[in-house]
């Protein structure tokens, strides 16, 4: 977990606001769910490995005493590990008050109790759009179009999206002789890192050498495969050149039922976003089967691709001595004129003080003396 | 804890963005701290009763096993119960990278494990500004000026602020014969609810009838008291009429050391914000004593005072049949023209569909037919 310094936070909020405006412009509506969900829901088998990484919240009062005495589960709540499980619970709880097709924006932190390591945080931000209640490929088309538009708006123009379909992948593995597919999917998911030979070895260990050879052959030839009918919608995109069929794309989460996506960028070694269709998840909570599909942007990685923010043109440090009332009045006037004005009591070493504020993104300064005209100068 | 529906969330984000812009216009900088803090820090005695309401996070793996075996504390982290304790920890951790005077904006959720009751949530939003590193009354003046400006910008023009000073209150109680003041403060804090007679009774029980009479007399005459020298800065405000000296104001938190504030509004039975000076808290973490003062706005109560949001003028539902590609193109064109455009597959009962979308704040609609001119009509 980490603190955000003022410039980091400003940049992040600016980028999020731009993304939010693109999504809102397409009629997506922002919603919010609480950070805590029932632990039972977070560990119901939908979250794959993430379920093991839930921060669990201790029961309280008598309930905790009872749990300790009886030796049962000590926690009743957990911090969400993604925004998808809470969204499906939200849709099941609130569907009567929601439009039949919900096009949701969610921007919020999620938590995973991973071992601390460089570039990975135990609290990080997700920015998701999802369409619930539409079983047509219009949903996939809208999500991909909106995500690419959002990335373009913040200055990321060379992102591409790999797509596959879980049903196609599953049929392929079946045709290669694999019925119990979990181990095979885990191995193929590592293709980028361990290459065909590595996948072959893992499959041989989990199944047998005949199956391993078949998978290896298929992987080697996979780039030549044509778009299957399940993914025919890709050709309906305005910019199909941004989207590439990858028959070997797996994605980790267990809940996907159809199309899956992963967003790539030449400047990032890992994906900068991803998602897919998960038609069975709302039904698990409500009994009402509801089609659903979503894309999540990895904001931390996306921020790494963007240039550092520069200072704001019309921002001013107003150095003052002791006449606070007059200074507050001048500040109010300057704000009306469109300035961003920070009042600072002049330090003994004003040079160091101004350098420090230039580093914080302030562009100019003036030393306020009651009765004298303001002399606004550039900072740094 | 609660889910936010699309219109609730839109209204909240709009109000927060307006407040944020006012604060940023005055050179405050937004920062962010993680939701989880070390449990030891959250229960170090600074948070008053809130410390009892911390949601505690279970230790994980071997550490949990060890804690269970040894019968020691099972939790190592907790969800923050306010934004002030984390802010002081943040300043102590990051001061080398921060301006000497930090003017911070914090907008984020906090958590308290209160018994569920109407209008109280266990996760709720706080919106704070704080000035750290300035021991002059300029800090108080800026915070009050900025808070009133923020409230005015969102349409709340008749808020007033009660102020007091903890040092003055403490001297008064001492002069009335009370050295151990905690019980007396708790009683006086309830003055609004239990009136002078109720406070008198509690003080008599905790101390004696002589002290109780003295306190009751003082309370009855308190409205006549003049502004003490510790609060002389109030007269330097541009709008001192918005601020009223209340010698009986206490505020619950133990950490206040000087000025204290409470924001009132005729439309709300409880305060809609509050704060004060807490000069000893950063020093408790870092050893470097740092003056600090802050004001927090109670966003949930403030939202209750505002009128419901109306629909956005330039928002459009584009009903379509099956030509997705052409519809996405038209959507892109309309967005360029400044429209907010939601694509919807036309339902069999389009009337019900459109009513539902009017309820979601969409102002107009058009049924898209490839090759035909769009006929945009008002909704509802």
Which tens digit of pLDDT belongs to each residue from B290-311? Answer: 999 999 999 999 999 998 766 6
Tell me the mean pLDDT in the region A270-293: 93
pLDDT surpasses 90 at A25: yes
Q: Is the alpha carbon torsion for A228, A229, A234, A240 positive or negative?
A: positive
**A119 has a pLDDT exceeding 90:** no
In the prediction, which pLDDT does B252 show? 76
Any idea what DSSP says for residue B374? Answer: P
CA distance A377 to A364: 5
Over the range B67-83, which residues count as b (16 or more CB within 10 Å of their CB) and which as e?
A: beeeeeebbbbbbbbbb
Contact between A5 and B60 using a beta-carbon 8 Å cutoff: no
Domain boundaries, chain A: 6-159+265-305, 315-378
| pLDDT value at residue A47 | 79
pLDDT-above-90 percentage for chain B: 83
In the CATH scheme, what is the code of domain B6-159+265-305?
A: 3.30.930.10
Mean pLDDT throughout B25-39? 97
| DSSP strand pairing (B29-30 vs B102-111) | parallel
pLDDT of B286: 86
Segment B313-361, tens digit of pLDDT: 789 999 999 889 999 999 999 999 999 999 999 999 999 999 999 988 8
Q: Which residues of A touch B141 (CB under 8 A)?
A: 324-325, 328
Q: Do B31 and A5 touch (CB under 8 A)?
A: yes
Residues of A in contact with B329 (CB under 8 A): 238
Closest CB to A10: pick one of B30, B99, B324.
Answer: B30
Determine whether the interchain pair B58/A57 forms a contact, defined as Cβ–Cβ distance below 8 Å: yes
| Cβ-nearest to B36 among A25, A123, A320 | A123
Least-confidence region, from A335-339, B126-130, B284-288, B366-370: B284-288
Question: Rounded to 5 degrees, what angle do the CA atoms A104, B323, B350 make?
Answer: 60
Closest residue, chain B, to A53 (C-alpha): B60
pLDDT digits (tens, 9 = 90+) for A305-320: 998 766 677 899 999 9
* Model pLDDT, residue B306: 92
Q: Which residue of B has its CA nearest to A86?
A: B3
Tell me how many helices (H) and strands (E) chain B has. 13, 15
A323 CB-near residues (< 8 Å, 6+ apart):
A368, A370
Looking at beta carbons, which residues of chain B come within 8 Å of A315? 27
CA distance B71 to chain A (A): 11
Count the Cβ atoms, other than its own, within 10 Å of residue B18.
Answer: 14
3-state secondary structure of B330: helix
Chain position carrying tokens 């003056």 = B291
Residue of A36, A75, A111 with shortest CB distance to B123: A36
- Nearest-Cα distance to chain A for B324, in Å, is 6
Residue of A215, A203, A220, A213 whose CA lies nearest to A173:
A215
**How would residue B287 be classed by pLDDT, with cut points 50, 70 and 90?**
confident
Query: How many angstroms separate the most distant Cα atoms in chain A?
Result: 90
Residue A268 has pLDDT above 90, yes or no: yes
In the predicted model, what is the mean pLDDT of residues A269-287? Answer: 93
Q: For an interface test with B, give the residue of A10, A13, A26, A27 to mutate (most B CBs within 10 A).
A: A27
Model confidence at A369: pLDDT above 80: yes
**Short-list A350, A7, A325, CA closest to B24:** A7
pLDDT in tens, A120-138: 789 999 999 999 999 999 9
Are the CB atoms for B81 and B110 separated by under 8 Å?
A: yes
> How far apart, in whole angstroms, are the C-alpha atoms of residue A25 and residue A146?
9
pTM exceeds cut of 0.90:
yes
Task: Name the minimum distance, in Å, from the CA of B251 to any CA of chain A.
Answer: 27
Residue B257 C-alpha from the chain's centroid: 20
Residue B310's pLDDT is what? 63
Position with higher pLDDT, A360 vs B78? B78
What would the mean pLDDT of A180-197 be, rounded to a whole number? 92
The answer to whether A33 contacts B3, with C-beta atoms less than 8 Å apart, is yes
- Distance from the Cα of A315 to chain B's closest Cα (Å) equals 8
Residue B333: closest CA among B272, B376, B279: B376
Which residues, in sequence order, are CB contacts of A211 under 8 Å at separation 6+? A176, A177, A178, A203, A204
């Amino acid at each position: 977990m980490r603190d955000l310094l003022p410039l980091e936070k400003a940049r992040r909020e600016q980028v999020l606001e731009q993304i939010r405006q693109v999504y809102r412009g397409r009629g997506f509506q922002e919603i919010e769910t609480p950070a805590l969900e029932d632990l039972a829901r977070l560990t119901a088998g939908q979250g794959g490995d993430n379920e093991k990484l839930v921060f669990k919240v201790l029961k309280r009062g008598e309930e905790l005493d009872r749990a300790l005495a009886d030796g049962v589960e000590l926690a009743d709540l957990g911090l969400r590990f993604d925004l998808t499980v809470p969204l499906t619970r939200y849709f099941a709880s609130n569907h009567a008050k929601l439009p039949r097709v919900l096009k949701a924006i969610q921007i919020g932190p999620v938590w995973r109790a991973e071992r601390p390591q460089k570039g990975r945080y135990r609290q990080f931000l997700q920015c998701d759009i999802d369409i619930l209640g539409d079983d047509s490929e219009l949903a996939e088309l809208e999500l991909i179009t909106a995500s690419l538009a959002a990335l373009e708006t913040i200055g990321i123009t060379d992102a591409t999206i790999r797509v596959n379909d879980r049903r196609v992948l599953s049929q392929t593995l079946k045709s290669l002789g694999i019925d119990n597919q979990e181990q095979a999917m885990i191995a193929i998911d590592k293709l980028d890192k361990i290459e065909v030979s590595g996948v072959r070895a893992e499959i041989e260990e989990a199944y047998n050498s005949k199956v391993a050879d078949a998978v290896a052959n298929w992987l080697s030839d996979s780039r030549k495969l044509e778009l299957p009918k399940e993914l025919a919608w890709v050709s309906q995109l305005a910019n199909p050149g941004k989207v590439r069929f990858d028959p070997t794309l797996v994605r980790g989460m267990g809940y996907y039922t159809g199309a899956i996506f992963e967003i790539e960028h030449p400047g990032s070694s890992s994906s900068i976003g991803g998602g897919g269709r998960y038609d069975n998840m709302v039904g698990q909570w409500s009994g009402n089967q509801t089609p659903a599909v979503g894309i999540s942007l990895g904001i931390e990685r996306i921020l790494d691709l963007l240039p550092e923010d520069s200072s704001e043109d019309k921002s001013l440090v107003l150095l003052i001595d002791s006449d606070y009332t007059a200074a507050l009045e001048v500040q109010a006037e300057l704000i009306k004129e469109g300035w961003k004005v920070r009042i600072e009591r002049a330090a003994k070493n004003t040079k160091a003080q101004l350098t420090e504020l230039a580093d914080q993104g302030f562009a100019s300064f003036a030393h306020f003396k009651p009765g004298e005209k303001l002399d606004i100068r550039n900072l740094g």
